Amino acid sequence: MNKLKSLFMILLAISGLQAQPTVKQVYLDKNQPMEVRVKDALSRMTLEEKVALCHAQSKFSSHGVPRLGIPELWMSDGPHGVRMEIMWDSWDHAGWTNDSCTAFPALTCLAATWNPEMSHLYGKAIGEEARYRRKDVLLGPGVNIYRTPLNGRNFEYMGEDPYLASRMVVPYIKGVQENGVAACVKHYVLNNQEKWRGHIDVELSDRALYEIYLPAFEAAVTEAGVWTIMGSYNKVRGQHACENNLTLMKILKGEWNFDGCVITDWGGAHNTKDAALNGQDIEMGTGTNGFSANKKNAYDNYFLADPYLQMLRSGEIPVSNVDEKASRVLRLIFRTAMNQDKPFGALCNQEHSEVGRAVSEQGIVLLKNSTKLLPIDGSRYKTIAVIGENATRSLTEGGGSSELKPKYEISPLQGLIEKFGADKIKYAMGYGSGAPAYDQVKSSPYNADSLRKAAIELASKSDLVIYVGGLNKNTHQDCEGNDRLSYDLPFGQNELISELQKVNKNIVLVMLSGNAYAMPWLSQATTLVQAWYGGSEAGNAIANILSGNVNPSGKLPFTFGEKLSDYGAHSFGTIAYPGDETKEEYREDILVGYRWFDTKKINPQFPFGYGLSYTTFEYGKISADKKEYSADDTIQLSFTLKNTGSRDGAEVVQVYASEPNASVVRPTKELKAFKKVFLKAGESTIVGLSVKVKDLAYFDENSHTWHIDPSTFVLSNASSSTDIVSSVKIKVK
């Protein structure tokens, strides 16, 4: 027997099949610490396998390590729903029948709820849908700051204020990642316009960068622990954002200690060495045409593919560079694709519909109700005219990468018919805009004069008019790839609204958009509702608000200026927006949004934080727990709030801070706390809010640190940025 065994071992050795001692695959053991697993997996990989982790293998997937049983990563566009399946190697829809989703409201609507609890429910629900669809990375949410109302992608973001965006993005991310799906916060950083987005070079001060444009991204990393970040297309101080030493290496991975992956926006990589050395981890969407190219595999021609491999082999780039990138990708895979504890997820269920409807209802903003047309008592009216293309148009189509294929979408007209009855509701289109298109303008097939004439005739013989208009997801509207061309409403709506006002005084204007717009008809309007893009349940949410079944409680997440020149970005000539085709200077500096309007004493059409209700609220005087604080203290503020009306409702209370005798230029006031408070009719409560003293600091460019003056600060409670109720002074040592 021993001779046979010896002979067998000799034969194995000769044949090269000598069995090696079994080494425990630590990276497969979920009970091992994450970094131990990453180190073990990395030690087993070839150089080629490490490089493969760093670039795409299809339009929406990147490599795993099949030899080691490490799966690939699958990504999907968001942030308002899980996008339909795309072909492996083209942008065509795959044509599946099981890739529908729940369409959630746009992020401007979520921000308008001013409710972090709603944000968590939103993130959890969309994360469940992504998990059920077997996605590992959801490409959202977006937190780029609302700098100009012309930006075509503002509807995907969370408004003009860094504090509001920070408080709303953290629970969204946590909700998504509870499902073992990575959120991918975008677009890092300064992608504040779509015009020339691929090359415009942004110049700005360190103060503006740190005080306005970075805080929401920092909160995503340091508070929410986001697992991925998407770089933006534009340049920042001369370098593309997807390969930027300042923003990726020094700030994101240095100051914030980000341990996740930087994913390029699709086509955001430009140079192998810059990408390798300046913080890029996974390259997606580079401009090859995949397997149809004349080369063996076009994905191998990505900057972080074969060109990267050759530089590693030659020693031009050290192997430690790819080890660091591969470690980040492995960490992401272990958190998502190889996470054995993640739930199964759910798709298009009733709970998700309810979340979407609740977000839409809480985000709808009542801007004007001077004659109390709202809430609508259906028994008062025999005929109700619904006018406007947006009453029937699908607003989940178009818009660019945020396009969706919802399982269903309740239009405003459907919701109103369900609420008030088909016998009362008559519809006229009023205007036409053409089919949704990402990169071209398609004209309407309908005759504009005929549409307008029919609408005016219907309005003239109706008891009540509900006009549903605004913007849509066509190019040059609320759409990726291009900015708006005008601050006015498109498709002749201003003229149509003015004509309708001449024939009927009972008009409820309901506007759907992700941006502000001019309102030349406002002085003649009695009733105005900003309803955003509400997703699958948009029509039901609008009907519930208009009927009074739900009390409006949304507040504006950005300022509505009267005219375009009111905005800081449009006050310094074209160099400040849109730039000179090559360079752009943020000359308004830290004075973005209401900071500009307040400090320059410009009256807005509607201010940041503004929103009416069907009930009324009475604020008490604000007080602080002490008069003097040190830099490490937290200021405890309190005041009474009473619902003095006859309806249950919610009020978003806001706290603003100012430093009257600052040593540097500071805004007149800045948002530092808020809370959505629900009260029954007649109920009162003591509202408690806290502000950390360190959050009163400004960024000192000379020392590159946050600095707080020993000074007197004023803290005020308010119902909007222009409606200050009371103030308290405190001293900081």
Residue numbers annotated as active site = 265
Q: How many CB atoms lie within 10 A of CB 13?
A: 10
Strand partners, 587: none
| Contact criterion met (CB below 8 Å) for 193 and 151 | yes
- The number of helices, as runs of H, and strands, as runs of E, in the chain is 17, 28
214 vs 138: CA distance, rounded Å: 21
Indicate the DSSP class of residue 105.
P
Phi and psi at residue 55, to the nearest 5°: -150, 165
Backbone CA torsion sign across 636, 641, 647, 652: negative
Torsion on CA atoms 406, 412, 418, 423, rounded to nearest 10: -140
Name the token pair of 102: 């729940």
Specify the DSSP element, H or E, that contains 416: helix 412-420
Residue with tokens 């919701």: 415
**CB atoms near residue 564 (< 10 Å):** 20
| 712: number of Cβ within 10 Å | 14
The phi, psi pair for 516, rounded to 5°, reads -75, 165
- Contact between 291 and 56 (Cβ < 8 Å): no
DSSP string covering 385-408: EEESGGGTS-SSS-SSTT---BS-
Do 165 and 215 form a contact (C-beta atoms < 8 A)?
yes
- The span from the CA of 410 to the CA of 414, in Å, is 6
Query: Which positions ≥6 away from 656 have C-beta within 8 Å?
Result: 669, 670, 671, 672, 715, 716, 718, 721, 724
Q: Which residues pair with 386 in a beta bridge?
A: 427, 466
CA atoms within a 13 Å half-sphere pointing along the CA-CB vector of 485: 6
Cα dist from 712 to 207, 271, 657, whole Å? 21, 50, 11
- Tokens 């025999």 locate to 382
- CA 520 vs CA 496, 501, 502, 515: distances in Å: 12, 12, 14, 16
- Pick from 240, 265, 196, 315: which is nearest to 578 by CA? 196
